[in-house]
Structure 1
Amino acid sequence: MKQRSLGEWLAYLEQLHPSAIDMGLERSQKVLARLALGKLAPRVVTVTGTNGKGSTCAFVASLLRAQGLKVGVYSSPHLLRYNERVLIEGQEASDQQLCDAFAAVEAARGEISLTYFEMGTLAAFWLFYQSQLDAVVLEVGLGGRLDTVNVVDADLALVTSIGVDHVDYLGDTRERVAFEKAGIFRQGKPALCGDLDPPQPLLDKAADLAAPLFLRGRDFDLSSADGSWSWRGTAADGAQV
């Protein structure tokens, strides 16, 4: 069988599933189980929010790398080339790495139809697992609760902001959007929200899961004056930093 180029793979992915967007985790969960990857990395950070996801992913990855950790980042969409979506140690995945990852997912999926985003996400997961990383930072594509990224459990969940968008998929109120985005929270795992007025469903979800929730304006904040930035925050042990 002739090996596909990256361009050929991407063209193939575009026609693989009848719908460009098909929310739900079942298909991806089945294929992920077949890939038998285990935990992608010792630390998994998942980022969602109406705005600021990409910059937050870049900032978090930079902090982790500054600690000497080997980090992978998955984000979307890309600006110029698909390779931008998958970073390993700050470098874009090569065409060959992506082709190998797509081939692995294609072999595992069998009869299961996957969307472009689902295939790309699972391919990134496969590549991260092979790279033996210390941490991965994952950007949600749409919402959170039913987004393919959410098939992986987050050790830290970040919600940048909450606004009304993609109403056909997430609902037409901030409360409904917050419910979807809080779907990335996990039992007992810390979560952080940068929205200054987080809707009640997000607070309720954190409480239901006993997930320590750090809120902007209460537990941390950022201000600027005279050309400099000031930060205050609360450490996991409650100490002010």
Structure 2
Amino acid sequence: MQLPETLDGWLGLLEARHGQSIQLGLDRVRTVRDALQLPQTCPVFTVGGTNGKGSTCALLEAVLLAAGYRVGVYTSPHLLRYNERVRINGRDATDGVLVDAFAEVERARGDIPLTYFEHGTLAAWAAFCHAGLDAVILEVGLGGRLDAVNVFEPDCAIVTSVAMDHMDYLGDTREAIGFEKAGIFRAGRPAICSDPMPPASLVEHAEAIGAKLWVSGRDFGFSGDQNQWAFWIAGGSRRGGLAYPSLRGTNQLLNAAAVMAACEAVRDLLPVPMQAVRQGFMLVDLPGRFQVLPGRPTVVLDVAHNPQAAGVLSENLASMGFFPETWAVVGMLADKDVAGAVRLLRDRVDHWVVASLPGPRGLEAQRLAAILRECGVAGGISECASPQEAYALAHEQAAEGDRIVVFGSFLTVADVLAARKAP
């Protein structure tokens, strides 16, 4: 078979090749990893959790780059281009780097089937191994214990939060999900948990395997006022006078404190001066996480797609000040707790514009509108065929002083971002 010569060609092949997009398990990925013969040569951070993974990866990347290290970051999903998933030294990987990496994995896998995500994870690893990096940051795609990322050995693992999501795969209780998330911890290695109330299963697993567990609020934490904040370690140092991260949202201090704890835990491998921490937090940027766009009406983009994230979004909207009316542009996947997310935001929204999302998991606008009505939302509900159409309608009807909030899925935010960037 002739291998594709373009990135689009590879992505099309991988999408068509494997009918099951999610297939948990490590045996196949581990076999191909070994066949690649690309040993781990630098410290690895693995980041899992229900919400906050992307922000934590971005904060950690920014701090390490500011400290002068060459850093690779693998995250998912992307918003506009697949290249966003693989970042090398602060920049998205080029098409050429990704094409070469996909081909390298293809040659190594033989007749072993890989999912789209598994092939992409191994390709990211190949790209990193050829880039001469000082550190690698890997974001878990789903769960942790059986996710493809978990075939690589972290020098430090971070679990950001544990909430109810992906229950078809991870279990229908927080304890079951916590055990899956804790699967990225390793014996004798730092294990950072930025959830201040982790399920007992996570703590028990960390203790059972002998991981060096640090829990937010117990082993490290933060305090602050409107102007600055401080980081502390139990029985250890305290760093005060810190400026707030440039990522918006009150929850970002949980993520920033976890990053500082991780840096402290691996300081013998990767020393990071406080000036780099300050600079990294000041410069970090991550689209789609409570991202407020310039112009009027005010537009907020947030990929919140489950109740925990919707609750954080609700708090962040409340802290923004007064807007005469708020318009919500919403598109969600059918396997999410749509009603749970909507109930946490219904009091913040005056007008709802709902959109259908594509694909077998996409929820039709008509069904989404019905769920909103069942939740007793106030204000009118308009139905549109796509997030772009919904955003156009909201933008047309909103007054200059109003606010438009786009949320519900990466697909929703990506579609609106693409529309705004189109000529």
| TM-score of the superposed pair, with normalisation by structure 2 | 0.55
How far did residue 233 of structure 1 move?
2.4
Specify the alignment match of 1:38 in structure 2: 39
For the residues of structure 2 that align with 1:222 and 1:82, how far apart are their CA atoms? 35
Q: Return the alpha-carbon distance in structure 1 between the equivalents of residues 118 and 102 of structure 2.
A: 11
How far is 1:60 from its partner?
0.8
> What are the within-5 Å matches in structure 2 for residues 113-192 of structure 1?
113-192=113-192
SS in 1 for 2:72: strand
Residue aligning to 1:29: 30
* 1:72 Cα deviation after fit: 0.4
Deviates more, 1:200-209 or 1:143-152: 200-209
- 1:73 matched to which residue of 2? 73
Q: d(CA) in 2 for partners of 1:198 and 1:126?
A: 34
Task: Give the superposition deviation at 1:230.
Answer: 2.3
Match in the other structure for 2:21: 20
Identity of aligned residues (%): 54
Distance 1:25 1:54 in 2: 23
Instruction: Name the counterpart of 2:209.
Output: 209
Contact 2:71–2:134 at 8 Å: present in 1 too? yes
RMSD: 1.2
Paired letter, 2:107: A
Aligned AA for 2:51? N
2-side partners of 1:192 and 1:63: how far apart?
17
CA distance in 2, matches of 1:223, 1:139: 27
Q: In 2, Cα distance between the equivalents of 1:210 and 1:37?
A: 28
> Which is worse superposed, 152-161 or 220-229?
220-229
The two structures have a TM-score, normalised by structure 1, of 0.95
Tell me the amino acid that sits aligned with residue 19 of structure 2: P
2:187/2:212 contact within 8 Å kept: no
Look up the SS of the partner of 1:15 in the other structure: helix
Corresponding residue number in structure 1 for 2:56: 56
SS of corresponding position for 2:17: coil
For residue 10 of structure 1, what is the amino acid of its counterpart? Answer: L
1:5 maps to what in 2? Answer: 6
Partner Cα separation in structure 1 for residue 127 and residue 233 of structure 2? 34
Q: Which residue of 2 aligns with 1:218?
A: 218
Rg comparison, structure with higher value: 2
Rounded Cα–Cα distance in structure 2 between residues aligned with 1:226 and 1:144: 35
| Aligned-partner SS, 1:68 | coil
Runs of at least 5 residues in structure 1 that lack an aligned partner in the other structure: none
Report deviation, 1:214: 0.7
- Structure 1 stretches of 4+ moved >4 Å: none
Secondary structure at 1:107's aligned position in 2? helix
Letter in 2 for 1:239: G
Match of 2:236 in 1: 239
Q: Which amino acid letter does the alignment assign opposite residue 36 of structure 1?
A: Q
Q: May I ask how many residue pairs the two structures share in their alignment?
A: 237
Cα deviation, residue 3, structure 1 = 4.5
Query: Could you tell which deviates more after superposition, 15-24 or 69-78?
Result: 15-24
Bigger RCO (CA 8 Å, 6+ sep): 1
Look up the equivalent residue of 1:134 and give its one-letter code: D
1:157-194 Cα shifts (integer Å, max 9, x gaps): 00000001100000011100000000001110010101
Partner residue of 1:198? 198
Match of 2:85 in 1: 85
Residue pair 2:57, 2:73 contacting (<8 A) in 1 also: yes
Structure 2: gaps spanning 5 or more residues = 239-423
C-alpha distance in structure 2 between counterparts of 1:105 and 1:36, whole Å: 11
